[in-house]
Amino acid sequence: MKILYCIAGTCHAGGMERVLTNKANYLVAHGMDVVIVTTDQRGLPPFFELDPRIRCIDLHIDYEVNNGKSFLNKLVHYPLKQYKHKRRLKQLLFREHPDVTISMFCNDAHFIPGIKDGSAKLLEIHFSKFKRMQYGRKGLWRLADWWRSKQDEKTVQRFDKFIVLTEEDRGYWGALSNIRVIPNALTFSTSQVSSLENKKVVAIGRYTHQKGFERLIDAWNILAPQFPDWTLEIVGDGEERSGLQRQIQLYGLEQQIALVSPTRNIERIYQEASLFVLSSRYEGLPMVLLEAQAFGLPVVSFACKCGPKDIVEEGVTGYLVEEGDIQGLARQMAVLMGDESLRKQMGRNAKEASFRYSEETVMQQWLDMFRCCSLKK
């Protein structure tokens, strides 16, 4: 069976890229033929190691060149790029003859169902239904986000299967006949756990509006006088790096907060930490929370849409804080930073909870769906 994935690129260190890499590697190891089609790879290698049997094809559309530009710039360039994208992807699908074509809800989502190459069309979303409105943009951009959100409701119905990550998000989309919940699997299994004795807190993600790291820095500024010997590492990269660094300097927290570049040895980051914090405005099913639990880390997280409420058991594996409540985030972090015994109890609970997302359990659901879609062709 041939599975073809469509994604913007595999060169970033994000959760979606990590999930796709692990799924693709699992599938080829189990006899599948896997092709990954990108639009914005820009000649860069995949950030995470792909099995050499996986073929990667870039269509050279380069949507990201226009990121950060004006609304008018997008209005002028986007239609032509969409035209080229659809034409090149259609040619590729008819040449490759995949059994299943999967959109990762990138710039191809609204036109893939109309390509009649004979493959089953699946759509998987790694954010919540409200992703676009949670960008926090203003003016014409906000109007565009509202319009595209309404279009999303029509787009998802055109696919053979629409896969969301949480039961919470499934409820937001309504009674769709094609919707199914399959969570992300743990990206690795480990018998190692953190000692939870290092005075270090960690957060991981792209430096973007979504991840809300400026709110985490605000929370740390509240904590700093009480915990001068603790440090915070924010692991990632992105367009907000300079702004976050300025914020750290403004608070005079250079000795306590470090912005750390992404690493392939992410296991070390988790193993050296004693607490994981998620400050996001929105998510899908945050891989970082699953991974943190696998290393026995308790979690303090905003209860954003979606994911944290499916993963974190309040008072058992960590704490959930009302989204945007910076004082509350600082308060719950302080509880765990100040109580090693409680950290260790929640850490043991977190490790136990992580087994629900094992790779074998989750990937069997994907294999069953692929077979079902193939039989219906």
For every residue of 251-308, DSSP letters joined together read HT-TTTEEEE---S-HHHHHHT-SEEEE--SB-SS-HHHHHHHHTT--EEEE--BSSH
Selected residue with higher pLDDT from 192 and 244: 244
Q: Is the pLDDT of residue 372 over 90?
A: no
pLDDT in tens, 177-225: 999 999 999 877 788 899 999 999 999 999 999 999 999 999 999 999 9
Residue with tokens 């929105």: 282
Winning range, highest mean pLDDT, from 8-17, 76-85, 250-259: 250-259
Structural domain 2-185+358-376, CATH architecture:
3-Layer(aba) Sandwich (3.40)
Residues 257-276 have a mean pLDDT of 94
Cα→Cα distances 40→16, 57, 376, Å: 15, 11, 33
| Burial tier of 49 (Cβ tally within 10 Å: 0-12, 13-18, 19+) | exposed
pLDDT in tens, 101-147: 999 999 999 999 999 999 999 999 988 888 776 667 788 878 888 88
Phi, psi of 369 (to 5 degrees): -70, -40
pLDDT in tens, 55-83: 999 999 999 888 877 878 888 889 999 99
pLDDT at 329: 98
Domain 200-356 part of CATH 3.40.1260.10: no
Cβ contacts of residue 6 below 8 Å, gap of 6+? 37, 38, 89, 101, 102, 103, 104, 106, 108, 112
| CATH 3.40.50.2000 domain position(s) in the chain | 2-185+358-376, 200-356
